[in-house]
Structure formats: structure tokens, C-alpha cells
Amino acid sequence: MTNQFSRRTLLQTSAAAGLLSTMGMPAWAAPKHGGRLRLGLAGANTSDTWDSRTHSDNYMINMGAGCVFETLTEVASDGSLRGELAESWEATPDAKVWTFNLRKGVKFHNGKSFGADDVIESMKMHVEEGAKSAAKPIVSSVDEMKKLSDTQVQFTLKSGSADFPYLVSDYHICIFPAGMIAEAISKGIGTGPYQVVSFEPGVRTLVKKFEDHYRADTVGYFAEVEAIAIADASARMNAMMTGQVDAVNRVDFKTVPLMKANPNVEIIEVTGNMHNVFPMLCKMEPFNNVHVRQALKHAVNRQEMVDKILLGHGAIGNDHPIGPANQYYAGNLPQIQYDPDKAKFHMNKAGLGNLKLDLHVSEGAFAGATDAGQLYSNSAAKCGITINVIQEPADGYWSNVWMKKPWCASYWSGRATEDWMFQTAYESGQPWNEAGWENERFQSLLKQGRSELDSAKRRDIYTEMQSLCSQEGGTIIPMYQNYLDAASTKLAHGPKVGNLWMLDNSRISKRWWFA
């Protein structure tokens, strides 16, 4: 037990390290201030608002948590957790009571000082009556919030959660000024390094540097950030190629060679946790039969999908949702291969004869889902399984098809931690448990891992969970999709680019600068 590295010490040291790294810039770079960063972003909507509870697409994540607001903690570009509005944090040994020490001298854009009340009120926004927050499951795991002092908040959880500091880095949980949240939402008032100049939902946003920011020297180097909503992929690529914007997200795979040929453009490609999935409702016939699920796992040609759907911009999946951006990613598990013989073997075991299945797909599930369905159908035919691909309209797909039809296409951006990902889409009783796969061992490991602070034990737990999920789970995960962005070579960034979300975890405005 001597070499046991406690999760608690780890968390404390990483918090301290986070603090250190914000105090002085490392030697490899001397970021310069100034200039207007022009972003051409897909994912804007006329329904966009500054209410971070409703942020779901890249545009508002970039402008909300990425510019105007701040969260308690943030995931750094290298994947480690560091404080944003929190300076440090610590837990009781059962990971049930968490105390956050907040930064001092922080001001909101309207001059109000930041303190514990703001944190508590901002957290409560997610669980108030009728709230439509996507972070509701996170905040409702908190039993009690207590203000210890102006700069100290204590959260008592309903059950231990070692990942709690990670969870509060969620871009939905931005900190608003207490007592004026309504005004802050209507005008966009946060503590972030940029304050709102103009905001036209679905069209354009302009923010400028907030001079009173407490870390104005080390966060948010641009004088202004302009985000232009460009939904059309060709228009976005044109704008990048002709230098009318400095960075774009969601580069069209087909245009990568063209962009690479342009000396002024740098392609930013990272493999993160984003994955495309085909969940099967495990309570329905025939997916309640584990052999049917296993036959289908061997009937998909994963490499072919990566090559043809993602044009190589991705990696094959192994039917568990933990990706290379996760801490306890088990990359050494046996890879499930395309194997018609094994598929036939499991079909015989299932004893259902020649199987005919409907697979519901839509471009709304993920780009290329229809083609992926066709490839699946083709490869499965060689295994004696007939897959009938049904194309559904993208509109209303998530409400009318997903989790309603026994087998369909879907996608996940992934989460920063194993527990977060599993609890979102794999835990019994959660609203987005898309396959409804019930495995006692898996569910008990999930609870066990959550309150375990010992890193080595957690690795064992999460490895076993990934293995179970891969072998018996109800979700086919053929591929991880890379985040593919492009930026002007005039821009500079740290040694690593975050792989949790697009554009350096959607924090390009806070982290990058003009060289």
C-alpha cells in the first residue's frame, strides 16, 4: 500500500498546480495582447440566449463559457483540471462534502464583486421549478449548499462523488451575479475576460476585453472577439481560405486536403471522446438476447466506417464510450473485430434463425449516419443478418426516433470523466440511458467508482466497466470522430490543444493569441 496514490492528494495537487500555472506563464511562449479574433462558427441558432442552462451547440459554448462567463473549474488543454473561479478545493475522505475556496478580487462586468452567494444562486438555477437545464442531474446530486464565508462554499452531496470538481466545469454551470440573474441573462453579464458589446442571436456576437478582469494578463489576450454564425460548410471554408475569419470549427472532411495546401491555414485535428453510436433497446426483442448483441458487434466493419464515413479522421471504437481524452481509458482491451464466423456462431447460439432487423438512421443523428447504416447493412449481410436501413427525417429525430425505435443511430460528445459519461448514458433510471442495458455488476461498479477516491482502484473499476460494456453492452460504438477545426497561422496557442470540445475545449478566445 506504500505506492498508493490517493485521489484526494491527486486532486489537491492538481488544483495547486492549476493555481500555479495561472500565476506565471511557462517559458515556451510569451503571449501577446490585442487584435480582433474573428471566428466563423457553425452551430448558432436564432434561439440562442445568454442562459447557459440551454447552451448545447458549439457557438454558444464558445461565447458563453468560452468568453463571457466562467465556471468554478475548467479542464485545461492537457486534460487536467484546474480552477477558474475556484482557487482550490478539497473533499472529505468519502468524497461527500466538498469545500471550494473561491478567488478573491473578482468582479462581474457590471462592477458587482463575486462571492459565495453568486455560486450558490447560480447552482440553484439548474434545479428551480420548471428549469430546463441540461445540468440538472449534476446539481440535483447536491444535497446542501452552504456559504462558509464570502470566499468559501461547501457542497454536501447525496452520495460520494470523486468527480464532483470535474462536474462543475460543465459549460452549463456558468456563474451569474446573485440577485440580478435575470438581468445578467438578458444582457450577458458574467465574470469572464470578455464583455458583451452586441449580440444578434443566430447572426453575430461581438465581445471586447473586460479591463477589470482579475487575470487580465494571463487569460483572454484578444482586444475583441467577433463570432460570425456560418452554418453553410462551404461558406465557412471559403471564409477561412480567403482570410476573412481567423478560425473555423467543423471543417468538412472533404476539404481538408485543400485547406492543408493553403499556407495561411493550420488544420487543428484532435481525437477526443466524440463517438457515433447505434444503441439497441435491450428491453426489446431480440436485443434482450446477449448473443444477438454480440453477433451485431462482430457484424460491423469498424475500420471501413472510419475510412469511408470519416475519411480517416477518427479512430475505431470498441463499444464502450470512454475515449482517449479520458483519464482511465482502457486502450488495451481486446478489440472487437469484424468477423462473420463469430457473428454466425452467436446467431446460432441465439437460435433465432435468419434475423431481420430495422435500423433507423438520420443525418440528424450524425453526419454520414445514413451511409454508415448502409455499410453496416452490407457487412452484416455476409454474416447472415439482414439489416433494413430506414431513413428518418432529421427534424424531431431525438424526440420521435431516438430511444423510441428499438435500434437507431445517435452520437455523444463524450464527457471529461468516466463516471460522468456512464451516468449520463448508461446508468439505470437516467433519462438518457439510451440502450437501457441492465447489468448488475456494471451498475454496482458505477456506484462504487463514483465514491472511490483511490486512483488505482478507480482504474480497475473503470477498466472492468469498459470491458463489460464492450463485451455485453447494448450499444454498438463503431467509431470516434475527430474534432477538426482550422485556424490562421497568425494565431498561436499552447503546446497542446484540448480534445474535450472543438476549438481547444471551446476556450480558444480565452487561451489563444495573435503571434
Among 39, 86, 196, 229, binds another protein (CB under 8 A): 229
- Residue 140 near another protein by CB under 8 A: no
Closest C-alpha to 25, from 184, 175, 174, 219: 219
Q: Scanning the structure block, which residue is given the C-alpha cell 446539481?
A: 139
Binding residues among 423-462 for another protein as defined by CB under 8 A: 431-432
Among 17, 223, 235, 267, binds another protein (CB under 8 A): 235
- Residue 231 near another protein by CB under 8 A: yes
Distance of alpha carbon 449 from alpha carbon 457, whole angstroms: 8
Among 45, 289, 327, 443, binds another protein (CB under 8 A): 45
Minimum distance from residue 137 beta carbon to another protein (Å): 10
Minimum distance from residue 181 beta carbon to another protein (Å): 8
Report the residue number, 150 or 200, with the smaller CB distance to another protein: 200
Closest C-alpha to 470, from 481, 462, 459: 462
**Torsional sign, CA 202, 118, 110, 33:** negative
Instruction: Select from 70-78, 83-91, 234-242, 336-344 the region that touches another protein (CB under 8 A).
Output: 234-242
Distance of alpha carbon 492 from alpha carbon 485, whole angstroms: 14
Report the residue number, 274 or 461, with the smaller CB distance to another protein: 274
What's the CA dihedral at 292, 294, 297, 299 to 10 degrees? Answer: -60
Binding residues among 48-67 for another protein as defined by CB under 8 A: 49, 51, 54, 56
Asked if 185 contacts 49 with a C-beta cutoff of 8 angstroms, the reply is yes
Distance of alpha carbon 89 from alpha carbon 81, whole angstroms: 11
Taking CA 90 as the corner, what is the angle to CA 89 and CA 95, rounded to the nearest 5 degrees? 130
Start-to-end CA span in the chain (Å): 48
Binding residues among 266-325 for another protein as defined by CB under 8 A: none
Instruction: Select from 67-75, 314-322, 390-398, 451-459 the region that touches another protein (CB under 8 A).
Output: 390-398
- Residue 249 near another protein by CB under 8 A: no
Q: Scanning the structure block, which residue is given the C-alpha cell 458487434?
A: 297
- Give the binding-site size for another protein (rule: CB under 8 A): 45
**DSSP of 215-256:** TTTTS---SEEEEEE--SHHHHHHHHHTTSSSEESS--GGGH
Distance of alpha carbon 72 from alpha carbon 95, whole angstroms: 18
Q: How many residues does the chain have?
A: 515
Minimum distance from residue 56 beta carbon to another protein (Å): 6
HEC string of 306-368? HHHCCCCCEEECCCCCCCCCCCCCCCCCCCCCCCHHHHHHHHHHHCCCCEEEEEEECCCCCCC
Among 10, 19, 120, 185, binds another protein (CB under 8 A): 185
HEC string of 141-203? CEEEEEEEECCEEEEEECCCCCCHHHHCCCCCCCCCCCCCHHHHHHHCCCCCCEEEEEEECCC
Report the residue number, 80 or 238, with the smaller CB distance to another protein: 238
Report the residue number, 189 or 343, with the smaller CB distance to another protein: 189
Report the residue number, 99 or 238, with the smaller CB distance to another protein: 238
Binding residues among 187-206 for another protein as defined by CB under 8 A: 198, 200-204
Binding residues among 391-410 for another protein as defined by CB under 8 A: 393, 395-400, 402, 410
Binding residues among 456-515 for another protein as defined by CB under 8 A: none
Closest C-alpha to 10, from 76, 72, 81: 81
Strands 483-488 and 265-270: antiparallel
Minimum distance from residue 417 beta carbon to another protein (Å): 19
Instruction: Select from 15-23, 223-231, 453-461, 487-495 the region that touches another protein (CB under 8 A).
Output: 223-231
Binding string, 93-132, against another protein, x = CB under 8 A?
A: -------------------------------------x-x
Radius of gyration over every alpha carbon of the chain, rounded to an integer in angstroms: 23
Among 9, 140, 234, 428, binds another protein (CB under 8 A): 234
Report the residue number, 62 or 294, with the smaller CB distance to another protein: 62
Report the residue number, 9 or 110, with the smaller CB distance to another protein: 110
Among 144, 232, 285, 438, binds another protein (CB under 8 A): 232
Among 18, 22, 37, 40, binds another protein (CB under 8 A): 40
Report the residue number, 188 or 494, with the smaller CB distance to another protein: 188
Minimum distance from residue 503 beta carbon to another protein (Å): 18
Cell numbers that stand for 236 in this block: 465557412
Instruction: Select from 21-29, 228-236, 300-308, 325-333 the region that touches another protein (CB under 8 A).
Output: 228-236
Phi, psi of 93 (to 5 degrees): -60, -25
Binding string, 164-183, against another protein, x = CB under 8 A?
A: ------------------xx
Among 11, 15, 61, 134, binds another protein (CB under 8 A): 134
Minimum distance from residue 131 beta carbon to another protein (Å): 9
In three-state secondary structure terms, 262 is coil
- Site residues (vs another protein, CB under 8 A): 40, 45-47, 49, 51, 54, 56, 130, 132, 134, 182-183, 185-186, 198, 200-204, 228-232, 234-235, 238-239, 241-242, 244-245, 393, 395-400, 402, 410, 431-432
